């Protein structure tokens, strides 16, 4: 087992690739912290929206984010996000935040501010971080780097099923899938084309495609990588 640097598994990829589920399960299996960096960008976005600032005004966005108290649970069994003490775990998944988050996360100074928070949250005893730039920017020294992807169709179906859960068990209407597919394509485009730490695979990341794999199979592959890297016995 490695004894030097903090043990880190970095899991990057686009929305709907399954990385949140996998990251949580891997962290739970290892007894490590779980850091959902997307939730920190979503919380920052809600802070900016509530402050009523113009999202094109980078200085105003940064000021609203800096004054906000953003807190994340790192317990993979009980994830949660708070803004100034209020539980915003559900609010940050809503359409308002989802459509504004790419603009807020494109501001370099907002990223620098949140990366600092993400590194503190990771602690020193082992953590699984998931996001878009973990391997390239947040934790470039992570011992395990995984880039998880899936076909656009599979990703859209998964996200639509999450949004539709509990309404019509067993499937999502085609219209919802196509709306979600459009939103994912828009965010992929924005997240991959921004100047500051865009979504792109780290050259040293292991690529996994989850289109044909369930979460349990991907979790096992990531745990194998952690073992191969000497992070766990």
Candidate ranges 56-64, 100-108, 176-184, 213-221; the one touching ligand DC (CB under 6 A): 100-108
Q: For residues 29 and 206, what is the distance between their CA atoms, to the nearest angstrom?
A: 20
List the interface residues with ligand DC, window 122-141 (CB under 6 A). Answer: 131-133
Residues 6+ positions from 47 with CB-CB distance below 8 Å: 64, 65, 67, 68, 70, 83
* Binding map of ligand DC across residues 194-233, x = CB under 6 A, - = no contact: ----------------------------------------
Q: For residues 216 and 28, what is the distance between their CA atoms, to the nearest angstrom?
A: 13
Shortest Cβ 131–ligand DC spacing (Å): 2
* Residue of the chain from 6, 21, 81, 105 that contacts ligand DC (CB under 6 A): 105
Q: Is 37 in the site for ligand DC (CB under 6 A)?
A: yes
Shortest Cβ 101–ligand DC spacing (Å): 4
Q: Is 191 in the site for ligand DC (CB under 6 A)?
A: yes
What is the binding site for ligand DC (CB under 6 A)? 15, 37-38, 41-42, 101-102, 105, 131-133, 187, 191
């Amino acid at each position: 087992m490695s004894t030097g640097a903090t043990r880190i598994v970095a899991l990057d990829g686009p929305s709907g690739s399954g990385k949140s589920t996998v990251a949580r399960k891997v962290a739970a299996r290892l007894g490590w912290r779980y850091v959902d960096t997307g939730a920190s960008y979503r919380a920052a976005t809600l802070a900016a929206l509530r402050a009523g600032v113009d999202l094109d005004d980078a200085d105003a966005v940064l000021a609203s984010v800096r004054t906000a108290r953003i807190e994340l649970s790192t317990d993979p069994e009980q994830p949660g996000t708070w803004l100034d003490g209020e539980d915003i775990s559900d609010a940050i998944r809503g359409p308002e935040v989802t459509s504004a988050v790419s603009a807020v996360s494109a501001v370099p100074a907002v990223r620098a501010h949140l990366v600092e928070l993400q590194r503190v949250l990771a602690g020193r005893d082992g953590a699984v971080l998931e996001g878009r730039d973990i391997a390239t920017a947040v934790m470039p020294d992570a011992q395990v780097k995984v880039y998880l992807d899936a076909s656009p169709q599979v990703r859209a179906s998964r996200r639509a099923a999450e949004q539709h859960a509990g309404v019509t068990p067993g499937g999502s209407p085609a219209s919802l899938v196509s709306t979600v597919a459009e939103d994912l394509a828009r965010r992929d485009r924005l997240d991959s084309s921004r100047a500051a730490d865009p979504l792109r695979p780290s050259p040293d990341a292991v690529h996994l495609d989850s289109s044909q794999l369930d979460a349990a199979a991907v979790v096992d592959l990531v745990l194998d990588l952690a073992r191969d890297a000497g992070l766990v016995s």
